[in-house]
Amino acid sequence: MRFVLPKGRLFSNSLKTLEKAGIELKPPENRELIVKNGRYELLLARAFDVPVYVEHGVDVGMAGSDVVEERESDVLIPLELPFGKCRLSLAMPEENLVSVEEMEGFRIATKYTNLTRKFFERKNIEVEIIKLHGSIELAPKIGIADAIVDIVETGNTLRANGLVEVEKIMDVSALLLVNRISQKTRFEEINELVLRIKEAVKDGI
Ligand code: PRP
């Protein structure tokens, strides 16, 4: 059975959840990206790529609902996990604050180009989307964007960079993902795993 977990902020809770469910996966060393542990194999991927790996054949994964929706991945989601809670929000510099309806023609910096496009389409507002891969809060600070769409957890990063949350686009949580074919071909094994994880996280992690 192969698991793919996201490097970065969800990694330690993902691994801990599997451990609590009785699946001991040795964390990788020396920049290894695959670790074998008996009949289990642990793969490490960029958070944005985890749903893509699961869609294309890795049995099980854990990823944020933000990236699952952004990548529009065709995967099964048997369980929401009790970590990775945050939100995807639209934010702007406090000195140039306007309402969303006044954002026609604005440049929006984000990693979430799909979700941002859909958000503004729903509101019938045309904007220019600038794709960045991280440190999004920098873009309005140096004037290459008028607003950002990014993850907000504590709000510290926004505050530290003089940005104000204008509107929440979606609530985010870590999710358990299962490959559609694996769910059929490894039916019992996957069902047992989902039950064990459900039990392991029922009182939080
Ligand atoms: C995320 C997100 C924000 C920050 C939000 O960045 O992109 O920058 O965390 O958290 P806060 O509200 O608690 O401050 P991350 O550290 O994952 O790295 P990134 O900037 O490279 O995306």
Residue range of the domain that includes 120 = 86-171
- Ligand 1 — pocket residues by CB below 6 A? 9, 134-137, 150-157
Q: Report pLDDT digits (tens) over 4-63.
A: 999 999 999 999 999 999 998 888 888 889 999 888 999 999 999 999 999 999 999 999
**10 with 64, same domain?**
yes
Q: From ligand 1's centre to the CA of 6, what distance in Å?
A: 15
Shared domain check, 119 and 56: no
**Number of domains making up the chain:** 2
Question: 27 and 66 in one domain?
Answer: yes
- Report the distance separating Cα 159 and Cα 110, nearest Å: 17
- Sequence-separated (6 or more) residues with CB below 8 Å from residue 156: none
205 found inside a domain = no
Q: Is 144 helix (H, G, I), strand (E, B) or coil?
A: coil
Sheet of 60-64: strand order equals 34-37, 40-45, 2-6, 60-64, 174-178, 76-80
In which band, very low, low, confident or very high, does the pLDDT at 184 lie, cut at 50, 70 and 90? very high
Going by CA atoms, what residue is nearest to atom 19 of ligand 1?
134
Is the CB of residue 28 less than 8 Å from the CB of residue 44? yes
Indicate if 16 and 79 belong to the same structural domain.
Answer: yes
Rounded to the nearest angstrom, the distance between the alpha carbon of 134 and the centre of ligand 1 is 8
Q: What is the CA radius of gyration of the chain?
A: 19
Tokens found for residue 110: 């984000």
* Distance in Å, CA 152 to ligand 1 centroid: 7
User: Rounded to the nearest whole angstrom, what is the distance from the C-alpha of residue 154 to the centroid of ligand 1?
Assistant: 9
